[in-house]
């Protein structure tokens, strides 16, 4: 089989000592990043991009490093869910429901171990799904012309708010702002200066890496200060692990169901990891909660959402790698990495950079195994690090972020820009403007404009060309549905999510 041999080549790349080293480093960093409340995966990956960039790592190494960080963050998110009842990142929210009660019952170590196993199963199955689905989708995407791509970009923005999105107009506004920032600089096809105000520094446009670090990391610091959250939270003590094979077998079906559902949710536009873990949990509750133990510390209630969010995390890589259209904040940041390495994602990636793609996919298998091995015996170390109060940690993280930005081009100006974006991010978050569409706008802006131009030049200025093929009509329909559906369905789903959370709290 073709895919099989490509994957084997991938393993040849992923099993070199260098790649394994980066996978291990990434896994450790990622787990830490995911475990610390407030420092989400998007944030963590964003801080590491400039570092990987200025270290001059090869594209393969940097991508292996960052995808391991990404996978690790999904593992790490569960630690604070279980021990603090605070999700380290949003998708880990559902893990709180049964994880924290388990910890209260003195079974913290079991909850951590089971969730690590479930995470492993989730990622593993979803990575297999990625291996099967990605080449098919990439081949299909070769049929896309510029008009279809333009529709696809519109779809990405329309569905970014997700089913649970609150205010679609704010998502739209954020996307427009991001695309506007992307339009600053010299226009590639005509050489006309746009919005540069004759400032030399703006000729090349605004560097999105600086914007990402500013918007995420610096605004997070400001929020921490405002909430006086410097002291950290009390965590449940961890006990000695007593896990029999029977316990593991008991959660296997839950993990498998969660993994598959999560993968599907991850691939679909607009769903993402949060919805993946939510669906996995609710379905598992319906299937196996016969004695009403869910929400009171049932191991299956830990396994299902964990498998679900890890499955969704790998699933989200499918549209990112094959179409160049990320479905979540973190995959958007990974896309930023690809673009800054001069690799254009999309269907051609699988033909032009087959080594890289398959190397990274194989590295995901390796990284996943590393994560499982790290997370069962070494969980105590992560727990200890988790107890460092943010008042010491956040300033140091900010410092590392600044050093990363500074070492890209050794200019203080970039740091001013970073702080400026931090202030902007703070204001945006105050008025509830989502940050991810802004980032995505900055990333996709040039490509989106290019496809619009190509489409219209081919049709000699006829705008109906954008809607001419069945494929583009389909994409536009999904885009419009993605924009309109949340207004109708969103309140219902949100109410359900908060209800299931409130219900478990009452018990």
- Residue numbers at the binding site for other proteins (CB under 8 A): 54-55, 166-167, 169-170, 172-173, 175-177, 179-180, 183, 187, 189-192, 194-195, 218, 221-222, 224-226, 228, 230-231, 389-392, 394-396, 398-400, 402-403, 406-407, 412, 415-416, 418-419, 422-423, 426-427, 430-433, 448-449, 452-453, 456-457, 460-461
DSSP summary character for residue 191: -
Q: Which is nearer to other proteins, 391 or 494 (CB)?
A: 391
Q: Kindly state the smallest distance separating residue 278's Cβ from other proteins, in Å.
A: 23
Q: Which is nearer to other proteins, 155 or 318 (CB)?
A: 155
Backbone conformation region of residue 413, classed left if phi is above 0, alpha if psi is from -120 to 50, else beta: alpha
Angle between helices 299-315 and 93-102 (to 10 degrees): 150
Question: Do 288 and 85 contact (CB within 8 A), yes or no?
Answer: no
Shortest approach of other proteins to residue 193 CB, angstroms? 8
Q: Which is nearer to other proteins, 169 or 467 (CB)?
A: 169
CB of 340 to other proteins, least distance (A): 17
Cα-to-chain-centroid distance, residue 368: 16
- Cα–Cα distance, 278 to 309 (Å, whole number): 8
Supply the angle between the helices 470-506 and 93-102 in degrees, to the nearest 10. 30
Looking at the Cβ atoms of 55 and 132, the one nearer to other proteins is 55
In the bound state with other proteins, the residue whose beta carbon lies nearer, of 62 and 314, is 62
Kindly state the DSSP code that residue 328 receives in the 8-state scheme.
Answer: S
* Least distance between other proteins and beta carbon 216 (Å): 15
Separation CA 391–CA 133 (nearest Å): 44
Report the nearest approach of other proteins to the CB of residue 54 (Å). 6
259: Cα within 13 Å, side-chain hemisphere? 21
Residue 280 and residue 308 in contact, taking contact as beta carbons nearer than 8 Å: yes
CB 264, CB 270: distance < 8 Å: no
Residue with Cβ nearer other proteins (207 or 449): 449
* Min CB(421)–other proteins separation in Å: 11
CB of 423 to other proteins, least distance (A): 6
Torsion of CA 103, 107, 111, 117, to 10 degrees: 170
> Which residues touch 7 (CB under 8 Å, ≥6 apart)?
131, 358, 361, 362
Query: Given the complex with other proteins, which of 140 and 195 has the nearer CB atom?
Result: 195
Residue 38: CB minimum distance to other proteins, A: 12
Q: Which is nearer to other proteins, 105 or 166 (CB)?
A: 166
């Amino acid at each position: 089989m073709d895919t099989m041999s490509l994957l084997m080549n991938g393993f040849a790349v992923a099993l070199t000592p260098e790649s394994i080293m980066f996978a291990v480093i990434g896994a450790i960093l990622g787990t830490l990043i995911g475990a610390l409340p407030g420092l989400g995966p998007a944030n963590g990956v964003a801080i590491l991009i400039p570092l990987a960039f200025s270290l001059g790592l090869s594209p393969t190494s940097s991508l292996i490093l960052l995808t391991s960080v990404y996978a690790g963050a999904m593992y790490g998110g569960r630690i604070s869910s279980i021990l603090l009842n605070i999700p380290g990142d949003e998708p880990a929210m559902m893990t709180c429901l049964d994880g924290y009660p388990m910890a209260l019952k003195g079974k913290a170590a079991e909850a951590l171990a089971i969730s690590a196993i479930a995470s492993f199963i989730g990622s593993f199955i979803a990575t297999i799904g990625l291996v099967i689905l990605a080449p098919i989708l990439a081949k299909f995407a070769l049929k896309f012309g510029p008009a279809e791509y333009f529709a696809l970009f519109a779809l990405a923005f329309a569905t970014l708010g997700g089913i649970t999105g609150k205010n679609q107009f704010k998502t739209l506004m954020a996307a427009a702002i991001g695309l506007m920032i992307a339009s600053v600089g010299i226009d590639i096809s005509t050489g006309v200066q746009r919005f540069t105000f004759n400032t030399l520094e703006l000729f090349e446009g605004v560097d999105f890496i600086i914007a990402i670090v500013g918007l995420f990391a610096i605004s997070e610091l400001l929020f921490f200060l405002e909430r006086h959250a410097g002291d950290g939270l009390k965590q449940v003590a961890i006990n000695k692990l007593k896990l029999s094979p029977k316990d593991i077998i008991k959660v296997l079906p839950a993990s498998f169901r969660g993994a598959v559902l999560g993968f599907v949710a991850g691939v679909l536009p607009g769903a993402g990891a949060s919805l993946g873990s939510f669906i996995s949990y609710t379905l598992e509750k319906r299937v196996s909660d016969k004695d009403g133990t869910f929400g009171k510390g049932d191991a299956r209630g830990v396994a299902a959402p964990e498998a679900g969010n890890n499955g969704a995390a790998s699933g989200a890589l499918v549209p990112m790698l094959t179409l160049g259209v990320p479905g979540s904040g973190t995959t958007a940041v990974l896309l930023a990495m690809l673009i800054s390495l001069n690799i254009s994602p999309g269907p051609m990636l699988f033909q032009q950079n087959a080594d890289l793609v398959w190397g990274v996919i194989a590295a995901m298998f390796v990284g996943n195994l590393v994560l499982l091995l790290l997370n069962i015996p070494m969980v105590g170390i992560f727990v200890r690090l988790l107890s460092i109060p943010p008042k010491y940690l956040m300033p140091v993280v900010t410092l590392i972020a600044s050093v990363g930005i500074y070492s890209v081009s050794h200019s203080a100006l970039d740091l001013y820009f970073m702080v400026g974006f931090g202030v902007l991010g703070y204001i945006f978050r105050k008025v509830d403007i989502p940050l991810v569409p802004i980032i995505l706008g900055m990333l996709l802006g040039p490509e989106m404009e290019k496809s619009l131009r190509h489409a219209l030049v081919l049709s000699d200025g006829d705008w109906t060309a954008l809607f001419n093929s069945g494929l583009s009509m389909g994409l536009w329909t999904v885009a419009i549905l993605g924009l309109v559906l949340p207004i109708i369905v969103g309140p219902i789903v949100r109410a359900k999510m908060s209800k299931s959370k409130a219900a478990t709290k009452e018990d």
